[in-house]
Amino acid sequence: YKWTQWIFIKLYNTWFDVDAQKGRPISELPIPKDIAAQGEQSVTKYINDRRLAYYDNAQVWWCADCKTVCANEEVLTDGAHEKCGNQVSKKNLKQWMLRIPHYAERLLQGLDTVDWPEGVKDMQRNWIGRSTGAEVKFSIVDSQESLSVYTTRPDTLFGATYMVIAPEHPLLHSIVSNEKMHEVQEYIVQAAKKSDLDRTELAKEKTGVFTGTYAINPLTNTQIPIWVADYVLMGYGTGAIMAVPAHDTRDFEFAQKFNLPIICILDPEQADKELREKVLQGAACWEDDGVYINSANEHLGIDINGMSKKDGIATIIAWLEQQGLGKATVNYKIRDWLFSRQRYWGEPFPVIHWEDGEISVMDESQLPHILPELENYEPGDNAESPLANATEWLQVTDKNGRKGRYETNTMPQWAGSCWYYLRYIDPTNNDEPFSSEAEKYWMPVDLYIGGAEHAVLHLLYSRFWHKVLFDLGIVSTDEPYQKLFNQGMILAFAYETKTGAKVTSDLVEEKNGLYYHIETGEQLKQIVAKMSKSLKNVVNPDDIIAKYGADSLRLYEMFMGPLEATKPWTENGVKGVFNFLARVYRFFADVQNIHDDEPENIAISKELHKTIQKVSDDIEQLHFNTAISQMMMFTNACYKAGRVTKETARLFAQILSPFAPHIAEELWELYGGTDSITYEPWPKVDSALLEDDSVVYPVSFNGKRRFELELPKTMTKEDIEQTVLADERTEKWLATEKPKKIIIIPGKIINIVV
């Protein structure tokens, strides 16, 4: 993991230049004059705030089961830990974070340049979550402070009748009135006990407390109350919202519960009469488009009533910018990537925490920074890392006698997987992570096959690292993976009773194609399900290999169906493929079937080259199943012919070798191959042999097509005429008549005029 630590140091020493949309060395970061004037501490803070890797307090996800923190991307939508399924909770901890949001725009734009499944691209786009809108400043009554909100719909500002701030909002304490202080503080304590999911789920009852303070809606110039409520999270936008209850369901429910004003500003013209009436009165919520009403203030000279949505948004943003009350902004949902774990086996961070509070990264020459031997690998209950037990290993003293401790957290498994494809091209290089010649030759990855479940984990993380390495000139391509292919999942049969209860496979017996419960005798239904321990329907590849051999397993997986399809495993299918391989071996390993004494029979030569062509094309397109079908057909043709030349047998072994390498290697040796078949160049197709030498003629009588006749391409007009007239079907269609004229266009048609 030496080079993973090396890349971490690069990340630490890089900042993102927003104007250039590019990562640059931290040494090139311009320090503003006023910061420089404040002294060294301010400069250090300024720099640290811009590093792509930083160490700070953060509200992080914590899995009590695994006793480790985890990244946003590792928490599933239902709040479960991706690794173990346990519900995660939030904890405030000092951790290492990576500023992946700085690359949000680059990560989005890069998606347009790669050949990936649209589904995976969309998952990344949604995760990055770009939205355009405006930041709006609300001044607070009797206060110097102002409250900023981010909204994608600044055009609905006329309908903002109250504001809500998150319980964690840093301004909350300075906003709350004295009378409300106690109540608000109690509310904050309650909110801290809930998960984000509990707080934001639509179905949940809304809670909140009035802060006793008002803000001013800049467009209506009215005072609107500021509430604190936990349905607003600190993580998205600014942690405060302007509530437009007439047109947002959450705000509407909240306003109804706490009796706050609801002003309709979008007339739902397309709604039915009854609903429209309710919406206009503020008795129902309308989230779709409508026609602006109540959206003018003549004192301010602003009026968007009747405008289109696009113009409405543009007009309000222009006005806010002109007044210095807001600006158009782009917002991203993606958050900093939590990059440390309380695990023994990750890469240790090449980082030292000094007793005076300074944090420094190790010198590259000191890498690798190796894990200590430990008796106890278990993480502590309270987020202490196992490395905290390595008391001796931890200590470090610099040349001035200053004491420090090595970082005790380790990197997540994603660290190595972020760049392993780069190391694979030059794995024994001791001087650098990979040579630039190798990188230029191999990169980007032409074809990456993997499951869609990594869409917003590995596939997003590694694109981020790759882009940083690209900006630093370490790799030559902006994107790591040119083409991505998601293979389908292999399922297995499972069994259930009439009531839908699952029965484990070891309790099922088959009789005449029907399935029964061994103990109760009840007839069961066969279904297709994911392989799982609980259903006992997991197929262990080792068992299949022991029974049928590795070639059969491999070939069957390719033969099951299209690579991208989800399909059930059947042992009968394995048997079928096993039989095919046995058939191949019986024919091609039998010396009596392989000769060297005369040229190959033309029919076999043609079938062979057709097969080479088909297998070559199908491999390119990942259509392995149809390539195998073609090889089965070729084998049948060989059996029919009885014997083939050694050259034919050698060529067949070569095209079979990527599919069934063991048998192919065996045959290769039998035909005198001395080196592995792997080193043979792929067979070339003789295109002359691909041409069909016969033509299928439609035979017509007075222009009406009656039957088809296959004839050699080289046949002369005279011979064609004779053959057609001799055909018994011609006799039948002619009946008693005599043909007046026979029109023959060679290679095309035969028409008999009667």
Residues in 312-331 at the binding interface with Zn ion, rule: CB under 5 A = none
Q: Smallest Cα–Cα separation from 180: which of 210, 207, 206, 208?
A: 210
Measured from the CB atom, is 83 or 94 closer to Zn ion?
83
Measured from the CB atom, is 64 or 452 closer to Zn ion?
64
> Which helix (H) or strand (E) covers residue 314, if one does?
helix 309-323
User: Angle, nearest 10°, between helix axes 602-620 and 624-641?
Assistant: 170
- Count the neighbouring beta carbons within 10 Å of the beta carbon of residue 246: 30
Residues in 6-65 at the binding interface with Zn ion, rule: CB under 5 A = 63, 65
Measured from the CB atom, is 63 or 260 closer to Zn ion?
63
Measured from the CB atom, is 65 or 510 closer to Zn ion?
65
Cβ at position 276, least distance to Zn ion in Å: 49
CA distances to 1, 416, 423, 451, 728 from 420, rounded to whole Å, are 10, 6, 5, 17, 70
Sequential DSSP letters for 30-62 = PPPHHHHHT-HHHHHHHHHTTBSEEEEEEEEEE
Measured from the CB atom, is 80 or 619 closer to Zn ion?
80
| Interface segment toward Zn ion; rule CB under 5 A; list 76-84, 230-238, 250-258, 559-567 | 76-84
Q: Smallest Cα–Cα separation from 368: which of 323, 400, 416?
A: 416
Q: Return d(Cα 306, Cα 507) in angstroms, integer.
A: 70
Q: Smallest Cα–Cα separation from 309: which of 323, 295, 329?
A: 295
218 Cα distance to chain centroid: 43
Measured from the CB atom, is 65 or 364 closer to Zn ion?
65
Cβ at position 531, least distance to Zn ion in Å: 22
Cβ at position 82, least distance to Zn ion in Å: 8
Measured from the CB atom, is 86 or 360 closer to Zn ion?
86
| Interface segment toward Zn ion; rule CB under 5 A; list 74-82, 322-330, 609-617, 623-631 | 74-82
User: Do 326 and 137 form a contact (C-beta atoms < 8 A)?
Assistant: yes
* 26: its two tokens: 């931290």
* 423: its two tokens: 């190391």
Match 């800049």 to its residue by tokens: 218
Measured from the CB atom, is 338 or 663 closer to Zn ion?
338
35, 47, 66, 234: residue in contact with Zn ion (rule CB under 5 A) = 66
Sequential DSSP letters for 180-205 = GHHHHHHHHHHHHTS-HHHHH-TTSP
Cβ at position 71, least distance to Zn ion in Å: 12
Please name the residues in contact with 180: beta carbons below 8 A apart, sequence gap of 6 or more: 209, 210, 211, 212
Measured from the CB atom, is 62 or 421 closer to Zn ion?
62
Contact between 397 and Zn ion by CB under 5 A: the answer reads no
Measured from the CB atom, is 85 or 306 closer to Zn ion?
85
* 662: its two tokens: 């063991």
Measured from the CB atom, is 84 or 318 closer to Zn ion?
84
Contact between 114 and Zn ion by CB under 5 A: the answer reads no
Cβ at position 486, least distance to Zn ion in Å: 25
Burial classification of residue 591, based on how many CB atoms lie within 10 Å of its CB (0-12 exposed, 13-18 middle, 19 or more buried) = exposed
Strand-pair partners of 708: 698
Cβ at position 413, least distance to Zn ion in Å: 13
Sign of the dihedral through C-alpha 489, 492, 498, 504? negative
Measured from the CB atom, is 377 or 682 closer to Zn ion?
377
Size of the site for Zn ion (CB under 5 A): 7
Measured from the CB atom, is 83 or 547 closer to Zn ion?
83
Cβ at position 412, least distance to Zn ion in Å: 13
Please name the residues in contact with 229: beta carbons below 8 A apart, sequence gap of 6 or more: 164, 167, 206, 207, 208, 209, 254
Cβ at position 74, least distance to Zn ion in Å: 9
| Interface segment toward Zn ion; rule CB under 5 A; list 75-83, 314-322, 677-685, 712-720 | 75-83
| Interface segment toward Zn ion; rule CB under 5 A; list 80-88, 534-542, 562-570, 608-616 | 80-88
Residues in 149-178 at the binding interface with Zn ion, rule: CB under 5 A = none
Cβ at position 72, least distance to Zn ion in Å: 14
Residues in 581-600 at the binding interface with Zn ion, rule: CB under 5 A = none
Cβ at position 65, least distance to Zn ion in Å: 4
Measured from the CB atom, is 86 or 270 closer to Zn ion?
86
Cβ at position 200, least distance to Zn ion in Å: 22
Q: Smallest Cα–Cα separation from 230: which of 261, 262, 190?
A: 190
Cβ at position 415, least distance to Zn ion in Å: 18
Cβ at position 85, least distance to Zn ion in Å: 7
Measured from the CB atom, is 339 or 624 closer to Zn ion?
339
Measured from the CB atom, is 383 or 443 closer to Zn ion?
383
Sequential DSSP letters for 504-525 = -GGGEEEETTEEEETTT--EEE
The length of the chain is 754
Cβ at position 62, least distance to Zn ion in Å: 9
Residues in 687-726 at the binding interface with Zn ion, rule: CB under 5 A = none
User: Do 347 and 353 form a contact (C-beta atoms < 8 A)?
Assistant: no
Per-residue DSSP letter, 228: E
* 228: its two tokens: 């604190």
Q: Return d(Cα 686, Cα 281) in angstroms, integer.
A: 80
Measured from the CB atom, is 73 or 471 closer to Zn ion?
73
Cβ at position 342, least distance to Zn ion in Å: 11
| Interface segment toward Zn ion; rule CB under 5 A; list 25-33, 81-89, 261-269, 587-595 | 81-89
Cβ at position 457, least distance to Zn ion in Å: 15
Q: Return d(Cα 587, Cα 638) in angstroms, integer.
A: 8
**The CA-based dihedral angle spanning residues 685, 689, 690, 692, taken in that order and rounded to the nearest 10 degrees:** 180
User: Do 433 and 472 form a contact (C-beta atoms < 8 A)?
Assistant: no
Residues in 369-388 at the binding interface with Zn ion, rule: CB under 5 A = none
CA distances to 70, 483, 587, 652, 668 from 658, rounded to whole Å, are 40, 21, 19, 11, 13
Please name the residues in contact with 134: beta carbons below 8 A apart, sequence gap of 6 or more: 150, 151, 154, 316, 317, 320, 326, 327, 328, 329
| Interface segment toward Zn ion; rule CB under 5 A; list 79-87, 205-213, 429-437, 475-483 | 79-87
| Interface segment toward Zn ion; rule CB under 5 A; list 78-86, 611-619, 671-679, 728-736 | 78-86
Sequential DSSP letters for 134-164 = EEEEEEBTTSS-EEEEEES-GGGGGG--EEE
Q: Pattern 82-101, binding to Zn ion, x per CB under 5 A?
A: -xx-x---------------
Cβ at position 86, least distance to Zn ion in Å: 5
Contact between 81 and Zn ion by CB under 5 A: the answer reads yes
Cβ at position 90, least distance to Zn ion in Å: 14
Q: Return d(Cα 647, Cα 127) in angstroms, integer.
A: 55
Measured from the CB atom, is 84 or 374 closer to Zn ion?
84
Q: Which residues bind Zn ion (CB under 5 A)?
A: 63, 65-66, 81, 83-84, 86
